[in-house]
């Protein structure tokens, strides 16, 4: 695939003249795409900000990325247009930002977009290109939107009309514009820097989140929600960690992975996943391919293949790895960022097929006898499934979709699975050879530390679980190359590299994801495990020094790293997992691998600092919730008790007379009660005992006393007898309860105690 070494969508202007703007000096492929626009673009930085302040102009900040389809559209329609460029250059200071290089800027202004659309449209929305008009002194957004067309349509004003209106408001009603900027900035700051008080965290919360997540599952087509449908790997990870043993959860995971693997979102010929499906059945994708999607999904498919001995899921994990190592790897072993969705302004042009094209490719490869198999296998005998919505006059075609798992398709063709696999591989090779002769989508060939960390971890996991030494070797080579190539003169990590140029101080996710990769290598690369672990521990210490927040959790950027009005501390997982969630996982892994108290203390501090946000949205913070679950099993003492230390419930365990028998005394404060184990209402949280360690627990729960409307509770001191069978080492007892008085119930808590020897 050709790299984005030249502006892929820029057109000539002023006849045959092509002058360069300031972006020609940048390395970002996205910025270089705009280097020949007639817009007087600046990269984000002090030069643009100081000019805006000096001239009293608004900055127009346009944020996107190299493989963004609608970014290309707005460039062609507006930024390459001379008349539009004149308005933009006269009234504003235009700034381009690559969101993949500067996630900190993107995060702040995307949050502003979501806040603003919630205010004005009643529904938070966002996307790219992100278009923001920013006042120059505090860099606060005055107006925020996404794509704007050249003529009013889609319920949106034309971009030119919008600029004229905003320029007039800034000139004639500046006080009004600044009041809106202040209000918006306050709302963004409240969203990105709020720190709810520490609350109790326990494994029950993670289990409840997993059950709640199942309510969003599409039981017919797999995945979560409707169209457009995204892979949501953080959701799958939460279910895998917390509840994979439960039949309905296992079915959800299997259904989702099978549907994605056989759908058009997976490149059936070349391997690798596209960004998302525009429909609810995984059929027609948005065709760009992102390194971060493929990293997360490779690890998930490898995990499923290992657990269930699933050959199909193993095949998908290996094919993701094959695709990345074939098309997305730089000369030093690091990995490129993405591949574009379009060719010649046609989305998916290189990926779609007409029935006769498939037949011709197979005949050319000497496989004409398999044309009917290919036609049926990939659904071409059922008519076309793709029509470019932006070019409706072009002939319809097909995204290749496998009509089910291979064993199902083989049975439909009356073929044994081994024979079918051989035929399918031959068909795919022939189609890939034919497809390679087409013009290919451009590759965003910048190297991002964070996304490389995700792929390093994924290749290590594929290697460990599927016995693929080659992917472990590739992961090690990439990790060592990142360490050499993306370090600044002071030894700290850099964010981005392209060619010989590396730049931008690393963010939390760069450290967290690369640390995840080193930990994964330490677990699968025994000959180099000590070196990987040493590097992992050094990365952890560096992360603590640069990003740790005083009250726990981590900031997303270093102090003083940008000029923005807020320093965010994100925990919600999006297409890319949150740095905070990954750091909780990393701390637990390092505690498990080293046993050092340093990690236990750090986990206590960070779980406490993030607990309020995890409790408020345990599904949105899926990886943090999964880490909470692991902590409840591996290191429950690192979880905050919050109001569990308010003295309302206390307990003591003593040994009983018989072998393995124990007696638990729970003392409840005067005026309070707790629900019995069977409280009489399934919505209530009852008394529950659970072992944290080996052994089988047998509990004789007391029935409790009546408490109105059929409920049963305990007051004063309640005594519970229980037995532990098969415990060979010391173990702990976790006791869940929820104290209530006549007015309200307090937050549930889980108290953990060592069983006496």
Mean pLDDT of the chain: 92
Highest mean pLDDT among 222-231, 654-663, 747-756: 222-231
Find the helix or strand (DSSP H, E) in which 691 lies: strand 688-692
Check residues 726 and 464 and name the one with the higher pLDDT. Answer: 464
High-pLDDT (> 90) share of the chain, %: 79
Q: What is the pLDDT of residues 5-59, one digit of tens each?
A: 333 333 322 333 468 999 999 999 999 999 999 999 999 999 999 999 999 999 9
Q: Can you give the pLDDT at residue 649?
A: 87
Question: Please, are residues 482 and 449 in contact by the beta-carbon 8 Å criterion?
Answer: yes
Given the DSSP bridges, would you call strands 92-98 and 42-43 parallel, antiparallel or unpaired?
parallel
What is the rounded CA–CA span in Å between residue 354 and residue 431?
Answer: 12
Q: What is the pLDDT of residues 170-199, one digit of tens each?
A: 999 999 999 999 999 999 998 888 778 778
Domains 22-193 and 642-754 share a fold: no
Which of 93-97, 405-409, 467-471, 642-646 has the weakest average pLDDT? 642-646
Q: Which CATH entry fits the domain spanning 447-638: 1.10.3720.10, 3.30.420.40, 1.50.10.20, 3.30.300.30?
A: 1.50.10.20
Q: Can you give the pLDDT at residue 498?
A: 96
Residue with tokens 């006269």: 90
Domain ranges of the chain: 22-193, 215-310+335-444, 447-638, 642-754
Residue 636: exposed, middle, or buried by beta-carbon count in 10 A (0-12, 13-18, 19+)?
A: middle
Average pLDDT value for residue range 568-587: 95
Which of 59-68, 146-155, 444-453 has the weakest average pLDDT? 146-155
In whole angstroms, what separates CA 546 from the centre of its chain? 22
Average pLDDT value for residue range 466-484: 98
Highest mean pLDDT among 65-79, 325-339, 550-564, 700-714: 325-339
What is the rounded CA–CA span in Å between residue 661 and residue 421?
Answer: 57
Q: Can you give the pLDDT at residue 255?
A: 98
How large is the C-alpha radius of gyration of the chain? 28
Q: Can you give the pLDDT at residue 39?
A: 97
Q: Can you give the pLDDT at residue 264?
A: 97
Q: Can you give the pLDDT at residue 9?
A: 35
Which fold is adopted by the domain 22-193?
Glutaredoxin (3.40.30)
From 530, 711, 516, 715, select the one nearest 627 (Cα to Cα): 516
What is the rounded CA–CA span in Å between residue 739 and residue 647?
Answer: 10
Q: Which residues pair with residue 443 across a beta bridge?
A: 3, 339
CATH top class, domain 642-754: mainly beta
What is the rounded CA–CA span in Å between residue 681 and residue 86?
Answer: 68
Q: Answer whether residue 120 shows pLDDT above 50.
A: yes
Predicted TM-score (pTM) of the model is 0.83
Question: Please, are residues 486 and 499 in contact by the beta-carbon 8 Å criterion?
Answer: no
Average pLDDT value for residue range 725-749: 77
């Amino acid at each position: 695939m050709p790299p984005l070494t030249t502006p892929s969508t820029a057109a000539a202007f002023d006849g045959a003249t092509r002058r360069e703007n300031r972006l020609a000096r940048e390395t970002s492929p996205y910025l270089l795409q705009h280097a020949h626009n007639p817009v007087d673009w600046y990269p984000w930085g002090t030069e643009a900000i100081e000019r805006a302040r000096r001239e009293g102009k608004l900055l127009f900040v346009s944020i996107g990325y190299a493989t963004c389809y609608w970014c290309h559209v707005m460039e062609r329609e507006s930024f390459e247009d001379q008349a539009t460029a004149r308005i933009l250059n006269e009234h504003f200071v235009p700034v381009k930002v690559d969101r993949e290089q500067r996630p900190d800027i993107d995060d702040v202004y995307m949050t502003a977009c979501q806040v603003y659309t919630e205010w004005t449209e009643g529904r938070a929305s966002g996307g790219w290109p992100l278009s923001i008009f920013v006042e120059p002194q505090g860099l606060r957004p005055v107006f925020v939107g996404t794509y704007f067309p050249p003529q009013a349509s889609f319920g949106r004003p034309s971009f030119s009309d919008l600029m004229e209106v905003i320029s007039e408001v800034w000139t004639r009603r500046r006080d009004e514009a600044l009041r809106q900027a202040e209000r918006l900035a306050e709302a963004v700051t409240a969203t990105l820097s709020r720190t709810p008080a520490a609350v109790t965290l326990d494994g029950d919360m993670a289990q409840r989140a997993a059950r709640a997540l199942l309510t969003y599952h599409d039981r017919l087509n797999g995945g979560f929600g409707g169209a457009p449908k995204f892979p949501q790997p953080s959701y799958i990870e939460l279910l895998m960690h917390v509840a994979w043993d439960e039949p309905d959860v296992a079915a959800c995971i299997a259904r989702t992975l099978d549907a994605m693997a056989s759908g058009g979102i997976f490149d059936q010929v070349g391997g690798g996943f596209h960004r998302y499906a525009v429909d609810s059945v995984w059929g027609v994708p948005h065709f760009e391919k992102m390194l971060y999607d493929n990293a997360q999904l490779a690890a998930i498919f490898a995990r499923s293949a290992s657990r269930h001995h699933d050959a199909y899921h193993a095949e998908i994990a290996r094919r993701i790895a094959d695709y990345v190592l074939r098309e997305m790897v730089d000369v030093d072993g690091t990995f490129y960022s993405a591949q574009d969705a379009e060719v010649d302004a046609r989305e998916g042009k290189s990926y779609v097929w007409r029935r006769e094209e498939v037949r011709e490719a197979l005949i050319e490869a000497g496989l004409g006898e398999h044309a009917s198999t290919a036609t049926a296998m990939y659904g071409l005998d059922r008519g076309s499934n793709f029509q470019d919505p932006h070019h409706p006059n072009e002939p319809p075609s097909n995204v290749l979709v496998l009509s089910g798992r291979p064993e199902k398709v083989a049975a439909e063709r009356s073929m044994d699975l081994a024979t079918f696999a051989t035929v399918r591989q031959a068909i795919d090779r022939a189609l890939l050879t034919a497809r390679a002769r087409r013009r290919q989508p451009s590759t965003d060939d910048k190297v991002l530390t964070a996304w490389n960390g995700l792929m390093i971890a994924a290749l290590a996991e594929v290697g460990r679980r599927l016995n693929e030494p080659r992917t472990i070797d590739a992961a090690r080579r990439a990790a060592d190359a990142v360490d050499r190539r993306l370090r600044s003169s002071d030894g700290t990590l850099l964010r981005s590299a392209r060619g010989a140029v590396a730049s931008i101080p690393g963010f939390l996710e760069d450290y967290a994801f690369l640390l995840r990769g080193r930990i994964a290598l330490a677990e699968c690369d025994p000959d180099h495990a000590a070196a990987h672990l040493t590097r992992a521990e050094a990365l952890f210490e560096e992360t603590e020094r640069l990003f740790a927040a005083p009250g726990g959790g981590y900031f997303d950027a270093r102090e003083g790293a940008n000029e923005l009005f807020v320093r965010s501390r994100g925990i919600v997982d999006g297409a890319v997992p949150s740095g905070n969630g990954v750091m909780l996982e990393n701390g637990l892994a390092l505690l498990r691998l080293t046993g050092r108290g340093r990690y236990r203390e750090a986990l206590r501090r960070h779980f406490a600092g993030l607990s309020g946000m995890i409790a408020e949205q345990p599904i949105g913070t899926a990886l943090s919730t999964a880490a909470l679950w692991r902590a409840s099993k591996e290191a429950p003492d690192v979880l905050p008790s919050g109001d569990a230390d308010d003295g309302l419930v206390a307990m003591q365990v003593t040994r009983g007379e018989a072998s393995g028998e124990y007696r638990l005394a729970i003392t409840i404060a005067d005026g309070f009660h707790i629900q019995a184990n069977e409280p009489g209402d399934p919505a209530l949280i009852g008394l529950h005992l659970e072992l944290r360690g080996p052994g089988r627990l047998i509990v004789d729960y007391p029935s409790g006393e009546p408490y109105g409307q059929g409920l049963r509770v305990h007051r004063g001191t309640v005594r519970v007898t229980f037995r532990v069978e098969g415990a060979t080492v010391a173990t702990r007892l976790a006791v869940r309860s929820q104290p209530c008085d006549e007015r309200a119930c307090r937050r549930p808590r889980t108290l953990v105690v060592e069983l006496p020897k």
